[in-house]
Amino acid sequence: MFRGIPFKYDDKLKREIDLRGLSYSTFKNYRSHLRRISEFFKKDLMDVSVDEVKVYLHRLKSELHQHPQTINLCRAAFLFFRQSILGDYSSHLTLPHHKFVHKLPDILPAESIIPILEGISLRYRAILSLCYGSGLRISETLALEVSDIDSNNMKVYVRSGKGGKSRYTILSQYSLICLRKYWKSYRPNGSLIFPQYHNHSKPTSPQYVQNLFSETYQKLNPLSNKRITIHTLRHCFATHLLDSGVDLRTIQVLLGHKSIASTSMYLQLTDLHFSKLTSPLDRERM
């Protein structure tokens, strides 16, 4: 992949991303989409027209059945390139934004998560326990450094959050025990807690952890038709906290959400919240 047409905009793209304080993952995602566009049309990205990109975006939707978020990310990457690198702010530079319906995520009951964690090796149990017990994204977990774990105050410092934002979240006793056992067994070199085996300066691949989690879940739940990923554990963290009476604002801070509106989604997922509500129709009859 990416061998036909050389991509000569890495440095400029990285510079523009850095100037705006955007994350390295944004740079990687934008670069990936831009290189695919260049490869598809077999020419320099500078020579790809807006109409051609419309054809490409339509192909992502109709032929490859890509998720709307993927299509919109590709659109954003091309617009960013034309505007920020080529300085093209002309009126013709318009691409449709793909509208999509937000679906509520599937949630696992708390009692079903421990068997999943116990069904995998110690290293990956420690990783996944942080995703659930601290509400971390998998990228945040794998980027953790030894100094980010504060066992005295039972909290975790997230230095690589979405949008480059840092925050603190809680550390579970279960995760702390897993981390201590893992540390004694593996003794990783360097600052990262979960480095690659052959390169301790880089974090473990999230794709491998995702595949392991999915396989373990399917073995334990062969008849399940739920859409379960590692990110489900983060949703479970928020929902189960809400079930236990923690307020939305606190959950927002722990998750690192910019807006309380994002956190409010979990009101739709908690059974306990609905069980405490009384319809105004029934209240009038009391």
Find out whether 164 and 235 touch, Cβ atoms under 8 Å.
Answer: no
Residue of 33, 125, 234, 235 marked active site: 234
Q: Is the pLDDT of residue 101 over 90?
A: no
pLDDT at 36: 94
The arithmetic mean of pLDDT across residues 123-144, rounded, is 96
- Beta carbons within 8 Å of 145's beta carbon, 6+ residues apart: 159, 191, 192, 193
Q: Is the pLDDT of residue 33 over 70?
A: yes
- Residue 111, classified by CB atoms within 10 Å of its CB into exposed (0-12), middle (13-18) or buried (19+), is exposed
For the chain, the straight-line distance linking the first and the last C-alpha, in angstroms and rounded, comes to 68
pLDDT at 248: 92
Mark whether 67 is an active-site residue: no
The arithmetic mean of pLDDT across residues 41-58, rounded, is 93
Q: Domain residues of the chain, as ranges?
A: 10-85, 110-274
Q: Is the pLDDT of residue 70 over 70?
A: yes
Residue of 14, 54, 159, 231 marked active site: 231
The arithmetic mean of pLDDT across residues 272-283, rounded, is 72
Q: Is the pLDDT of residue 238 over 80?
A: yes
Mark whether 162 is an active-site residue: yes
pLDDT at 285: 63
Q: For residues 243 and 4, which has the higher predicted lDDT (pLDDT)?
A: 243
Instruction: Identify the weakest region by mean pLDDT among 16-30, 177-191, 204-218, 245-259.
Output: 16-30
Mark whether 231 is an active-site residue: yes
Work out the pLDDT band at 14, boundaries 50, 70, 90.
very high
The mean pLDDT value of the chain amounts to: 89
CATH code, 10-85:
1.10.150
The arithmetic mean of pLDDT across residues 163-190, rounded, is 92
Instruction: Identify the weakest region by mean pLDDT among 34-38, 216-220, 256-260, 271-275.
Output: 271-275
Find out whether 158 and 166 touch, Cβ atoms under 8 Å.
Answer: yes
Same fold, 10-85 and 110-274: no
pLDDT at 5: 59
Residue of 43, 162, 167, 273 marked active site: 162
CA separation for the pair 106, 129 (Å, rounded): 18
Residue of 82, 125, 137, 235 marked active site: 137
pLDDT at 2: 47
Mark whether 198 is an active-site residue: no
Q: Name the superfamily (CATH) of residues 110-274.
A: Intergrase catalytic core (1.10.443.10)
CA separation for the pair 163, 27 (Å, rounded): 12
The arithmetic mean of pLDDT across residues 104-123, rounded, is 92
pLDDT at 1: 47
CA separation for the pair 263, 257 (Å, rounded): 7
Find out whether 46 and 2 touch, Cβ atoms under 8 Å.
Answer: no
